[in-house]
Structure 1
Amino acid sequence: MRGGGGGGMMAAALVSRGDYVGIDWCLKGAGSFAVWDEGEVRCVVGNGFIPALHETLLRTEKLDVPITTRTQAFGPRNPRLGPVDVGFTPGVSKGGQVRLSNGLTAWVSDVRDDAITIDANHPLAGKELELTATVREIYGGETLEYATFAGGCFWGLELAYQREPGVAATWVGYTQGETQDPTYESVCSGTTGHTEAVQVAFDPELVSYRRLCDLFWDRLGENRYALNQVGNDRGTQYRHGIYYHSDRQREMAQDSFPKHPDRPIVTELKKTERFWHAEDYHQHYLQKGGQTAKKKATDTIRCYG
């Protein structure tokens, strides 16, 4: 474990990007008692959408010493993202979301007979919040294990794993293909052999690999019987699979397969190959759009992908 500096010199930072840490934290409205989130969590520093939290952790000089800061934790509002009035869209309701032609999702803040008002900023963007974070423990890198799953559009599956206690970090990307350095556009062409996937770093003391497999099956649902398809997404880039990192994972994944002798399950079970991280704008995409990634959250995941 690293220690802080002493004497008359500036103390050295105790925490670095990539460290797996246990923290207490609280994020609330500045000068108010309205708490957005709080609790004890473990996370990988630098992996997650709320930059202010990770920047605060990087300022840690001693364990068990809280750091409090006032900040626009979700960044400033971007006037180019809204609010803006657009033509009326049937079936849209206030508080809902719509997908824009550029791939962003926007919140519907008002609905009228002839128009709707939409805003693609995060609901908390531009709001001054009070963030308090305390690093309680820094764990060794060998603590974490990794798992890889493909379940159609990677946005929704990633958010499901972000919400799972014991999951320390998530990444979306492309795996099981032949092409080097694949891009989203090349993978979507269906010519690279890759499938959209989520890689999960998890703490086996807090969540089992079998639990992660069960969550995958719950998310996949009846799509387990559909070849190269999840929902309305079709193509080899949307094929579903569990890609194990060890023989032990292979055995647990195989045991997790639902038993339906009359309906063949077409989900792949293969050894994981190289995982290529997707572009930055895909990482934690739904959380950036305002859907909660709080642990144990049960809000419906809306994937506009």
Structure 2
Amino acid sequence: MHLSSSTLLVLLASTQCHAFAPAAMRARAPSPRAQWWEEDGTAPDAGATTTAKATGEHQIKAGDHVRLHYSLTTTGGQALDGAELTFDTEEVDLVVGAGGFLPALHNALDGASLTVDAPETMTLSAPFGERDPRLGPIPVPAANAPKGMQPGDRAGLSNGATARVMSVSDEKVVIDANHLYAGEDLTLTVTLLEPPNGRPLQEATFAGGCFWGVELAYQREPGVVRTEVGYAQGADPSPSYEAVCSGVTGHTEAVRVRYDPSRVSYERLCDLLLDRLGENRYALNRVGNDQGTQYRHGIYFSDDAQQATAEAVIAREQQRDAGRPIVTEVERIAAYYAAEAYHQQYLEKGGQSARKKETEPIRCYG
């Protein structure tokens, strides 16, 4: 991502939002990913663990569901600025290697040997990537910026990324899209809180239009451990994003969720979908400006219990406005195919917060 003055779109000053130019329509290209992600959505080698002392009894591997407490600090022991993080720290649940959080955290856990309640410390080599001069600092003419900007404000860019405002003068505004901790080694302290895979997870599949925004909504939901976007209910066994967008494959953009039923119910997950749909629940094959069968909304159950819950949720919501039929599909999941890697956790990679209980509005277009 190379910055120029034309990329500056929105400045987030406190809670104010200032537009520089009309927002672009939905991108059809890879995410404006953070610099610690590769083009294919995987973690770069630079985020690998450089030292590890863990010699515990549980050998952690990709695919394991782990509950742990972790912290990130500078190598000097200073806590990181939480405002710079799009993910949770401290006590979390995650599936190793399944995305979300920080790629270097997954790299550090994969292959580590950990003992329950025994803290282990590791050094991460530039987990937020190296500083890139193409990302800043870069001057933007002050005439292109709204008045009242201050150093420390966040600037939203037209490609969906964000930048920090470094300085402001009468002539120019200097911004920097490098992460605050780019180029720095960090210390990871991690404590396994229970044996891996100790609690069974359940799976659910939902469709609500643009899968980027729906996925982020589920990422923020407490009890959701893993999310993945993909294509549901179509006939083509190897769909591509371009083919699905054409509307001829029969798929709909969907989100597959793995969740801990002891912490969040299937009913709550169904409600979350309908809450996000809002008035779109009454619109056939449309969510907002996205139209076509590939954007139809639905709850795709995997067993009789999920079916009964989904139907009860729809019936309850229908009673609120009996004169307008809810057209959200409730069907047994017939097919699901994971989407391309660059779509996974798309909006988080673009800088939007995936922290649990986050209330910042989701911007589906960056």
Q: TM-score range by the shorter chain?
A: 0.7 to 0.9
Structure 2 SS opposite 1:40: strand
Displacement of 1:70: 3.4
Question: Equivalent residues in 2 for 1:265-304 (5 A)?
Answer: 265-304=326-365
> CA separation in 1, counterparts of 2:179 and 2:285?
33
Letter paired with 1:68: T
Structure 2 SS opposite 1:192: coil
> CA separation in 1, counterparts of 2:298 and 2:228?
16
8 Å contact 2:164–2:177 — kept in the other structure? Answer: no
Structure 2 SS opposite 1:138: coil
What do residues 19-56 of structure 1 show as CA deviations (whole Å, max 9, x unaligned)?
11111111234431345353222211112231111122
Q: Which residue of structure 2 aligns with residue 69 of structure 1?
A: 122
Q: TM-score, normalised by structure 2?
A: 0.71
Displacement of 1:136: 2.1
- Structure 2 residue runs without a partner (length 5+): 1-54, 83-87
Q: Which residue of structure 2 aligns with residue 178 of structure 1?
A: 235
Letter paired with 1:97: G
What do residues 193-229 of structure 1 show as CA deviations (whole Å, max 9, x unaligned)?
1111100000111111011111111111111111111
Q: Which residue of structure 2 aligns with residue 95 of structure 1?
A: 154
1:60 matched to 2:119: no
> CA separation in 1, counterparts of 2:261 and 2:354?
20
Q: Taking every aligned residue pair, what percent have the same amino acid on both sides? A: 51
Displacement of 1:82: 5.0
Letter paired with 1:20: H
Change (3 A) 1:139 1:130: closer
Letter paired with 2:65: Y
> CA separation in 2, counterparts of 1:128 and 1:139?
27
Question: Equivalent residues in 2 for 1:3-152 (5 A)?
Answer: 14-31=59-76, 32-34=78-80, 36=82, 37-49=88-100, 50-58=102-110, 59-71=112-124, 72-82=126-136, 84=138, 95-100=154-159, 105-110=160-165, 124-140=181-197, 143-152=200-209
- Structure 1 residue runs without a partner (length 5+): 1-9
Change (3 A) 1:187 1:229: same
Structure 2 SS opposite 1:17: coil
Displacement of 1:254: 1.0
Letter paired with 2:157: V
Q: TM-score, normalised by structure 1?
A: 0.84
Question: Whose relative contact order is higher, 1 or 2, with alpha carbons under 8 Å and at least 6 apart?
Answer: 2
Letter paired with 1:272: I
Q: Which residue of structure 1 aligns with residue 282 of structure 2?
A: 225
Change (3 A) 1:108 1:63: closer
Letter paired with 1:73: P
Letter paired with 1:107: T
Structure 2 residue corresponding to 1:164, chosen from 221, 246, 256: 221
Change (3 A) 1:273 1:136: same
Structure 2 SS opposite 1:147: strand
Displacement of 1:279: 0.9
> CA separation in 1, counterparts of 2:145 and 2:282?
33
8 Å contact 2:199–2:260 — kept in the other structure? Answer: no
Displacement of 1:236: 1.3
Structure 1 SS opposite 2:193: strand
> CA separation in 1, counterparts of 2:247 and 2:144?
32
Displacement of 1:11: 7.4
Change (3 A) 1:217 1:121: farther
> CA separation in 2, counterparts of 1:126 and 1:190?
43
> CA separation in 2, counterparts of 1:11 and 1:27?
20
Letter paired with 2:79: F
Displacement of 1:267: 0.9
What do residues 168-202 of structure 1 show as CA deviations (whole Å, max 9, x unaligned)?
11101111111121111111111111111100000
Change (3 A) 1:118 1:156: farther
> CA separation in 2, counterparts of 1:53 and 1:187?
33
> CA separation in 2, counterparts of 1:84 and 1:181?
42
Displacement of 1:64: 2.6
Letter paired with 1:252: T
Displacement of 1:84: 4.9
Moved more, 141-150 or 70-79: 70-79
Letter paired with 2:292: G
